[in-house]
Amino acid sequence: MLKQTVLNAAHRALGARMVDFGGWDMPVNYGSQIEEHHAVRKDCGMFDVSHMCPVDLVGADCRPFLSRLVANDVAKLTVSGKALYAAMLNEAGGVIDDLIIYFLTDTRFRVVVNAGTADKDLAWMQAKAAEWKMEVTITQRRDGADNLGIIAVQGPNARAKVWQVLPQVKAASEGLKPFFAAEVDQYFIASTGYTGEDGYEIMLPAGEAEAVWNALKDAGVAPCGLGARDTLRLEAGMNLYGQDMDETVSPLDAGLAWTVAMKDARDFVGRAALAANGQQKQFLGLILLDKGVLRGHQKVVTAHGDGEITSGTFSPTLQQSIALARLPLGVAIGDQVEVDIRGKLLKAKVTKPVFARNGKAVI
Amino acid sequence: MSNVPSNLKYAASHEWVLKNADGTVTVGISDHAQEALGDLVFVELPEVGAHYDAEKEIAVVESVKAAADVYAPIAGTVTEVNQAAVDAPESVNADAYAAWLFKMTPDNIADVDALLDAAAYQAVADAA
């Protein structure tokens, strides 16, 4: 039995093509994935991401707990509402999950974790809190009576559309710089996203999600499925857990070194392993020069040894196939490499791992 | 509900087959197949002159989200490929029965009659 978000009936009413996404019955598109992609780059689209799991941390030890729990440093969170992207590692330095931490007060943080990893994440957090004797209460907000829905509204016109539908959040949210959040009554409005565009992720009581979704649709916001979400995040060079990294992959080999704070002596889970192993691979982009489509797990042949594509697709913005890949050290941006696609070696160019943001190509 | 024209024959692997007056057959993928794949962005077709046994991989169609093999619905030799489908893969989404992929001369034209009719293929598509 697949799990359903609170918006399941709304997706079906819109004629969405539904798929099993890690045990959740989710919309992959509502017609054309490419049109949904362009709507987000050029105008405004919305995604049901209620399968993702908000986790509320409350207690005197929130900061010391998070400081040991994740590889990024919550000491960077000095202003209320600020958000931090971080990887939660195991002792071997592998990525248990990537998550966003929102700092609300010194005794209250909200963390949002991936759908498929939520159960193991919560178990890990609870175990670590007990082991470290931290005074922190960890409460998931996805399932049960007090659950939240999450609607991501993304694109250059996203803010204006949200204010049109929820005028009461405008004053608190219009000044939000990227990667901040504001709470207005029952609404949690965050200027975060997974598309490379401006916009908000709105957490709200599950019972209100369908009415807000429908109001946004009536305001002209295009419903977008997980298909467009994947091409948008890949163009923006954002990692997908389970594809670009997992428990066997170091954040240093997954392009996440910028989220690993090792400057001071702060102790965090996985630090010793990262220090011992260092960086083994580099995480870069590829653009296919021949015709075809790059896909995850395809082999990349380089002058410095073989690498592997972790995520690949056709980029609607570039009209070319693009990929994120784990390549040997020594490969440089601008190099030409070959990708094994069904036994044929096709030419590709190594790029920075970011292809399009804010409505246009950046490559 | 996908469109399944009754004048065509179908393979359970989602190809349609049209018998031509000159003894060749025209092959494409069904409307159900294009809808399941989503926006197509790449089509790779066989070499003219190549021979394929029935149910062998003969072409590839890729959408934004997935790659899918196209199988030879019957044994035969490729006589022509539709370059327009290669140049504009989205034409297959627009009309899967107009945007054919290749033509072949069957080893045995009677093989076509053994394929699924529209009603039988509709049942296959509904169950997928």
Of A227, A230, A293, the CB nearest to B41: A293
Q: Measured between beta carbons, which residues in chain B are less than 8 angstroms from residue A231? A: 64
Residue-level length of chain B: 128
Q: What is the C-alpha to C-alpha distance for residues B56 and B46, in angstroms, rounded to an integer?
A: 12
pLDDT of residue A333 exceeding 80, the answer is: yes
Model pLDDT for residues A79-110, shown as the tens digit of each residue: 999 999 999 999 999 999 999 999 999 999 99
The interface residues of chain A toward chain B in range 178-217, judged by CB-CB distance below 8 A, are none
Residue % of chain B over a pLDDT of 70? 99
3-state secondary structure at position B64: coil
Cβ neighbours around A105 below 10 Å, total: 9
Q: Which of A121, A115, A138 is nearest to A70 (CA)?
A: A121
pLDDT of residue A164 exceeding 70, the answer is: yes
Note the pTM of the prediction, 2 decimals.
Answer: 0.94
The residue assigned the tokens 């997992």 is: A246
CATH number of the domain at B9-126, please?
A: 2.40.50.100
> Is any Cβ of chain B less than 8 angstroms from the Cβ of A295?
yes
Helix spans in chain A (H):
8-13, 33-42, 62-69, 118-131, 158-165, 170-173, 206-218, 226-235, 271-277
Q: What is the C-alpha to C-alpha distance for residues B43 and B62, in angstroms, rounded to an integer?
A: 6
Model pLDDT for residues A44-62, shown as the tens digit of each residue: 999 999 999 999 999 999 9
> Is any Cβ of chain B less than 8 angstroms from the Cβ of A291?
yes
Say if the Cβ atoms of A32 and B60 lie within 8 Å: no
Model pLDDT for residues B48-107, shown as the tens digit of each residue: 999 999 999 999 999 998 999 999 999 999 999 999 999 999 999 999 999 999 999 999
Of B35, B60, B64, the CB nearest to A227: B64
Predicted local confidence at residue B1, as pLDDT: 57
Model pLDDT for residues A167-219, shown as the tens digit of each residue: 999 999 999 999 999 999 999 999 999 999 999 999 999 999 999 999 999 99
Q: What is the C-alpha to C-alpha distance for residues A72 and A50, in angstroms, rounded to an integer?
A: 25
> Is any Cβ of chain B less than 8 angstroms from the Cβ of A343?
no
Q: Which of B47, B60, B65 to mutate to test the interface with A (most CBs of A within 10 A)?
A: B65
Mean pLDDT of A139-149: 96
Say if the Cβ atoms of A32 and B67 lie within 8 Å: no
Mean pLDDT of A335-346: 97
Residue A79: Cβ-neighbour burial (10 angstroms; 0-12, 13-18, 19+):
exposed
Predicted local confidence at residue A254, as pLDDT: 98
pLDDT of residue A132 exceeding 60, the answer is: yes
Q: What is the C-alpha to C-alpha distance for residues A27 and A170, in angstroms, rounded to an integer?
A: 29
> CA B116, B117, B120: angle at the middle one, nearest 5?
75
pLDDT of residue A31 exceeding 70, the answer is: yes
pLDDT of residue B2 exceeding 90, the answer is: no
CA distances from residue A139 to A20, A53, A61, A72 in whole angstroms, order as listed: 26, 10, 15, 22
